[in-house]
Amino acid sequence: MDAEKTLVVIGMDPHKRTVTIEVMTSHEQVVGGGRFTTDTDGYARLLGYARQWPQRLWAVEGCAGIGKHVASRLVADGEEVVDVPAKMSARVRVFATGQGRKTDATDAHSIALVGVRMGGLRPVVDDEQLEVLRMCVDRRASLGAEHTRKVCQLHKLLLELIPGGAKRSLSAAQAKELLKKVRPTTPAGKVRKAHAVELVEDLAKIYARTKAADKELKSLVKATGTGLIDLHGIGPSGAARLLVEVADITRFPDRNHFASWTGTAPVDASSGDHTHHRLSRKGNRQINRVLHIMAVVQLRHATEGRAYYDRKVAAGKTPMEAMRCLKRRLSDLVYKAMLDDLAGHTTTGPGGQLGDDSDSSATGSQPDAGSSDKPLPGPATTKPRTTLPAAS
């Protein structure tokens, strides 16, 4: 077959210092492969090797994780790259090898198969604004996790220094005042207090960094012009996380596929004549957390979300089932808001809630169906971004 006319998919299993590739045609015929280092010389050899196929598509696993460093370099050099989720390549590997054996070569083969067979894989784009937003929201999340860890350590020490410990919601300034009254007499107690004082100082620094990070994040999100920030229950961190994780909202054919991706679509657990749906544990857990926080905030205030939740409970739903219904509807609301962002005509009502003119509104006065009644996502009908001939 003439290489000049052959479109190939280059599946890549990336690591920090090396990458393993396999070159596959649209007919799933393996025509090349190899292992290359990721330093300057190795990367140059990789590109030189790949350029013998003028029509090529790179399928790289984990472009938001371990494959990010090499995927970004490829995009910067004008290459077309799509992101292959690790879970998807893992499923293909089981069926391709029969036993799920995991080596760099089998991983590259599985990734290439996904690139050939699956349409609608997320393309990797060189978006500086989105990259800056991703780094800032990741840093904010890291500061939050570090704050939680140090607060837990401080509470443990205070429980040993003060009978009954300290109150649950404890600021660095309050902890500092408590420690001033502690006068340990034993060597262990003195070391314990010294460690607690050090933790309080660390928490004060983390608080200052967090405050600056929030301010920076709010400015960056506002610069995007997104209407997500106007939705009740979504702050700058939540809006930024949605923007960087979703990237291209058009990759979801409809709101049902989006709900499946967010983990808010109910999972059918029916058996016989008993119809039942349960909570999904799949999907993007970071986005699911954003929607959960959004739901909790709405429940704490007199919002349409709260009214929707109360109607579900009054209809016989348990509190957990009603919360699941609310998150499903909020997923629809976020999906529509992001589509509105794309169209450039975001329209929201009081409190950031969409009106009743859309059946995807999470807070409409008369929702047309409960969460368990919403259709589950079917097979995607979107066209692949890179059209490949059908495998023979």
What are 210-230's pLDDT values in tens digits? Answer: 999 999 999 999 999 999 999
Element housing 287 (H / E): helix 285-299
On the question of pLDDT at 57 being above 70, the answer is: yes
DSSP string, 65-104: TTTHHHHHHHHHTT--EEEE-HHHHHHHHHHHHSS----H
d(CA 171, CA 153) in angstroms, rounded, equals: 13
Q: Residue 292's closest CA among 332, 323, 256?
A: 323
What are 161-188's pLDDT values in tens digits? Answer: 999 999 988 899 999 999 999 999 999 9
> Which pLDDT score is estimated for 58?
96
DSSP string, 166-225: --SS--HHHHHHHHHT----SHHHHHHHHHHHHHHHHHHHHHHHHHHHHHHHHHHHHHHT
Q: 301 to each of 1, 304, 313, how far by Cα in Å?
A: 65, 9, 17
Task: Give the burial class of 298: count Cβ atoms within 10 A of its Cβ; 0-12 exposed, 13-18 middle, 19 or more buried.
Answer: buried
Which long-range contacts does 89-92 make (Cβ < 8 Å, 24+ apart)? 89/61, 89/114, 92/117
d(CA 255, CA 269) in angstroms, rounded, equals: 21
pLDDT grade, residue 364 (50/70/90)? Answer: very low
Q: What is the mean pLDDT of residues 253-282?
A: 80
The gap from C-alpha 56 to its chain's centroid, in whole angstroms, comes to 28
3-class DSSP state of 324 = helix
